[in-house]
Amino acid sequence: MLAFRTILNSTCRYIRPAAMVVLMAVAVTIANAQTPPYAEFQYSTLTASGNTVTASWVPVVTSSGTSYVNVVIQFDVAGDGTLTIAPGYPQIVPSPIILVSNFMAGNYTGPAGDAEYYIAVAGPGVTVGGATAWSLATTAGASCATTPTTASWYVFTGPMTKNPLYARLKAAGITQQTYASYGGWGTTGAQSCDAGTAWGTNTLIGLSQAGGDFTISSFTASGVDKNLPVSTINYIKNQ
């Protein structure tokens, strides 16, 4: 299960095993649904502190589209260690509106539905300056033909000088016009196999999405960043 894990404050801890089992059971049950309506806890941001577990930005899919909610579950602990959900929980509220640039969490296939290009997109997670953070990774059925194997990116509106990757974008000669043509900018992670000259580790990438069409462009060739894309892969979101 691919998910961001964001620390809410210095007292937070990652989800404890008992709480994780509860959420994973919910996620697995719901993920098996093939037609709306259903929720996708596996793509939310899961955090925990004390007896409370929070799932932020849970995608809720209906026949009219996808919306996002935050879910808070508080547990009571009995003397024998038994966990029960506290009265008044779970609490469910709409997620705050943040920058997403049309990106959608979920599973995607690549060119012509080729199984070698299966990826899962997770997010959004909120980061500095109001930007959102996303990630992707290959899923079961993918092979070494897949590029990239992993990646993360930011969605950040406004002048490119505010983007966390600005220094690298500037050095590559990427202009504001090119920058604005993509919904997000990021880098690939470590590749699991030889991905060729355009999709190696730490490749600079531009990403965009329109409906279920998801595009990733490489701006790095043989380790050198360029001002124009050198390779592009188009994905389709699975229904």
191 pLDDT band, cuts 50/70/90, is: confident
Tell me the per-residue pLDDT of 58-88, one tens digit each, with 9 for 90 and over. Answer: 888 898 877 888 899 999 999 999 999 999 9
Q: Is the pTM of this model over 0.75?
A: no
- Structural domain including 196 reads 106-237
Do 127 and 228 sit in the same domain of this protein? yes
Distance from chain centroid for Cα 188: 13
Do 197 and 134 sit in the same domain of this protein? yes
Is residue 103 classed exposed, middle or buried when 0-12, 13-18 and 19+ CB atoms within 10 A define those classes?
buried
Alpha-carbon distances, residue 212 vs 5, 124, 180, 204, 207 (angstroms): 25, 16, 20, 23, 13
Do 49 and 164 sit in the same domain of this protein? no
Asked, for residue 168, whether it belongs to a domain, the answer is yes
- 44 vs 130: CA distance, rounded Å: 18
Asked, for residue 12, whether it belongs to a domain, the answer is no
Among 62, 94, 126, residue at a domain's last position: 94
Do 90 and 138 sit in the same domain of this protein? no
> Residue 65 has what pLDDT?
79
Do 205 and 114 sit in the same domain of this protein? yes
Do 183 and 211 sit in the same domain of this protein? yes
CA proximity to 208, closest of 99, 103, 100: 103
> Residue 17 has what pLDDT?
47
Q: How large is the average pLDDT for residues 100-106?
A: 84
Do 231 and 130 sit in the same domain of this protein? yes
Tokens at residue 133, please?
Answer: 């953070």
Number of folded domains that form the chain: 2
Do 114 and 226 sit in the same domain of this protein? yes
Tell me the per-residue pLDDT of 10-42, one tens digit each, with 9 for 90 and over. Answer: 333 333 444 444 444 444 444 444 688 999 888
